[in-house]
Structure 1
Amino acid sequence: MVTTYSPVAQLRALAAAGRLAEVADGPERGGLVAAAYELVWPIVFARVTCRFERQRGHSVCASGVGNLADECLDRFHDDVEAVVDDLLGHARQPIRQLEAWITPRLNAATVNAHRRRRGARGALQRPRLPGWLVTGLAQDPWLTALATDILTWVGTSGTAGGRLWPVESWSQKRGLATGDWPGSDPATVGREIEQVLSVMRGHPKWYESYVERPLGAKQPPVVAMATDTYGEPLFPLAPADGADRVEAELRDLAGAAVRAIAGRIGQGEAAESVVVEVIHTIFGGACAGTLDQMPHVTADPLGGIIGGLTDPARLDRIVAAVLEMVG
């Protein structure tokens, strides 16, 4: 009988023989990388990703790989790749228990890889604010935290959908940092980002080196389009009218609402009061961009949402629907 070993079993056998790094330098590396990914990703998610997503207030992201937001998923894949590279590059002695060998090396492997990636993009490896920037922001705790987030973001490979900055997740972070949930909407954070960048531009060489250059190295966000077998769009693009722009903005606001609600419920707040407050805040007048226009037949396209909060039966249905989305 011929015994067929799984790729992970072959990986373990090579590690036990002390030959994993040696073989990984040869033509079999591709198969070993795939096997290492299969072995490593659950360890990285349980030991690294969950911990940091909880610290960021991303309780939904911490609940499973399938729930990771785009930028969090990018970080997760980067960390898995770093641990795989560390395993295949340093496993030169016999290793009987791979999981036990990998676990204490997680922090060093992910941190070192993170710094190398940032350095390759020209970003600061350890984002720290110079004194002139802290002074220019009047030592404001939230604005200085936002400035650090900006310097961190420009050095990562992640994108923010069709936006330049991850304003939705930073809106949630602003609410957690300041306690000002009604004022922590994407439009406000967008203005604060520009305020921070304005101070940074006061030192042009520094700004070009540590913001513009690494930001320019990011992959531009691309919107996927459904196509037929010949590569032609299934839904031809039509000139965007006011209604299209409003619908797009409403979807953005809905995404921000779900993230804010999930974060606050994850902090232990009561679901009903959180849903009412967040929906009132985001849809009850804090409308930016195209929402000051009148593309709809009715004067208030959001009346059905806001009005529903005053009807107990409809409110129960709204809360249940939101909880289903965030849960």
Structure 2
Amino acid sequence: MPRSGPTAAEDVRRLARLGTLAASVAEAGDAERKRLVGGAYCVAYPVVWSGLTQGLERRRGHNGCAVSVRHLVDDCFDRFQDDVEAVVHDVVHRSVRPIDNLEAWIGGLLTSATVDGHRRRRGAIGALQRPRPPKWLVDGLGGDRWLVHLSVQMLVWVGNPATAGSQVWPTEAWTDQRCRFTGRWDAADGSDVRRDIDAVLRVMRSRPEWYARYVEGPLGHKHVPVPRFAPADPDGPQLHALDLVGEGERDEVHLQDLAHEAVIAIRARLRAGEDAETVVTEVISLVFGDGAGTLIDRLPHQDDPGGEHVVRLLRDRAERARIVAAVLAIVRAG
């Protein structure tokens, strides 16, 4: 994050109030332009964080990332920086009229600025700015609604700087999409999605120039995820990054992440028509209990105090009914 003294930020606010910020940046020399843009960053990034990024991270289930900017993992921090850059671009180009409250004005352009910035970044790497499947692709896929939808998701993904870990495509997310789209929940292991991706790629590759330009080229701009630190001796003790988060905070975030995964699993099984009490009991047992049983009456004694407490509660009929009701309320509220 660029560091700029309060004078630069105050100058940006002052020029905005005068309605001359855009003109001042355009007419400034290199040094002054950098100073004013740095001041705009100082004004914009807290607004982007509180007005956009924090909520997005929570909706993604990234509870740790939603704690603060310094807790953002690499991919999420890159997205945040991209959004700040897009907002600053609009601030220094569109502020041509007097703006009394610059922060409030920035809050009003978060969506348009970040969408436009996203399109500019996609265009810079050759990805389609507004992905649409061409007619030949739709025809090649037999007009299959799910495959056509998947082809659009693939065209969107190639221009997204995010990565899917060691995979090229985010098959886990698309598996859930496929289940919801088709109404079939019998292939949640991702195998069907992988076959569907291959089918779409075969049709896309039938137009080699189009494929190279809009799929292969943009994919080549993605960064391969690598470990933060490589051990000097691979056979020796592994080194760990400095832990800047307290143990209690880390445990709380971990529990929130587990709860998020549990809600997703419960929601998926309920959509498939399974019994609500059975679903909640099995998922809560798996995630927070012993992690082995599927029927409550077969749950073994736990060595872990936390898991043992959960199992004990689930064995009690009244407690189990209370837990099921509370969990279902949370799932349905989302």
What range is the shorter-chain TM-score in?
Answer: 0.5 to 0.7
> Which runs of 5 or more structure 2 residues have no equivalent in the other structure?
239-256, 271-275, 312-326, 328-334
Q: For residues 279 and 182 of structure 1, what CA distance do their matches in structure 2 show?
A: 22
TM-score (norm 1): 0.64
Q: CA deviation at 1:140?
A: 3.1
Q: What secondary structure sits across from 1:27 in the alignment?
A: helix
Q: Which amino acid aligns with 2:60?
A: H
Tell which deviates more after alignment, 261-270 or 148-157.
Answer: 261-270
Residue 133, structure 1, aligned to residue 137, structure 2: yes
Counterpart position of 1:39: 43
Cα deviations by residue, 1:130-160 (Å, 9 ceiling, x for unpaired): 2232233333333222211110111122222
Q: CA deviation at 1:225?
A: 2.2
Contact 1:123 1:151 in 2 (8 A): yes
The change in CA–CA distance for 1:72 and 1:128 in structure 2 (over 3 A counts) is farther
Counterpart position of 1:214: 218
Larger Rg: 2
Q: For residues 69 and 136 of structure 1, what CA distance do their matches in structure 2 show?
A: 39
Quick one: which of 276, 280, 294 aligns to 2:282? 276
Q: Could you say what the CA RMSD is over the residues aligned between the two structures, in angstroms?
A: 4.4
Residue 153, structure 1, aligned to residue 157, structure 2: yes
Counterpart position of 2:60: 58
Quick one: which of 224, 239, 242 aligns to 2:228? 224
Counterpart position of 1:142: 146
Quick one: which of 188, 195, 206 aligns to 1:191? 195
Counterpart position of 1:306: 292
Counterpart position of 1:108: 112
Q: Which amino acid aligns with 2:90?
A: D
Counterpart position of 1:12: 13
The change in CA–CA distance for 1:140 and 1:257 in structure 2 (over 3 A counts) is farther
The change in CA–CA distance for 1:271 and 1:124 in structure 2 (over 3 A counts) is farther
> Which runs of 5 or more structure 1 residues have no equivalent in the other structure?
239-255, 284-303
Q: For residues 267 and 60 of structure 1, what CA distance do their matches in structure 2 show?
A: 19
Q: Which amino acid aligns with 2:224?
A: P
Residue 317, structure 1, aligned to residue 307, structure 2: yes
Cα deviations by residue, 1:81-120 (Å, 9 ceiling, x for unpaired): 1001111233244321112322333333222222221111
Q: Answer 1 or 2: higher relative contact order, Cα 8 Å, separation at least 6.
A: 1
Q: Percent identity?
A: 41
Contact 2:131 2:155 in 1 (8 A): yes
Counterpart position of 1:293: none
The change in CA–CA distance for 1:96 and 1:257 in structure 2 (over 3 A counts) is closer
Q: Which amino acid aligns with 1:20?
A: L
TM-score (norm 2): 0.63
Residue 94, structure 1, aligned to residue 98, structure 2: yes
Q: For residues 150 and 319 of structure 1, what CA distance do their matches in structure 2 show?
A: 44
Cα deviations by residue, 1:142-180 (Å, 9 ceiling, x for unpaired): 322221111011112222222222223333333443444
The change in CA–CA distance for 1:73 and 1:118 in structure 2 (over 3 A counts) is same
Cα deviations by residue, 1:41-76 (Å, 9 ceiling, x for unpaired): 34335554577678xx73556992658776555433
Q: For residues 75 and 31 of structure 1, what CA distance do their matches in structure 2 show?
A: 23
Q: For residues 221 and 113 of structure 1, what CA distance do their matches in structure 2 show?
A: 24
Aligned length: 274
The change in CA–CA distance for 1:146 and 1:48 in structure 2 (over 3 A counts) is farther
The change in CA–CA distance for 1:203 and 1:80 in structure 2 (over 3 A counts) is same
Contact 2:21 2:92 in 1 (8 A): yes
Q: What secondary structure sits across from 1:16 in the alignment?
A: helix
Q: Which amino acid aligns with 2:14?
A: A
Contact 2:57 2:66 in 1 (8 A): no
Q: CA deviation at 1:198?
A: 1.7
Q: Which amino acid aligns with 1:109?
A: A
Quick one: which of 156, 173, 189 aligns to 1:169? 173
Contact 2:87 2:113 in 1 (8 A): yes
The change in CA–CA distance for 1:6 and 1:161 in structure 2 (over 3 A counts) is farther
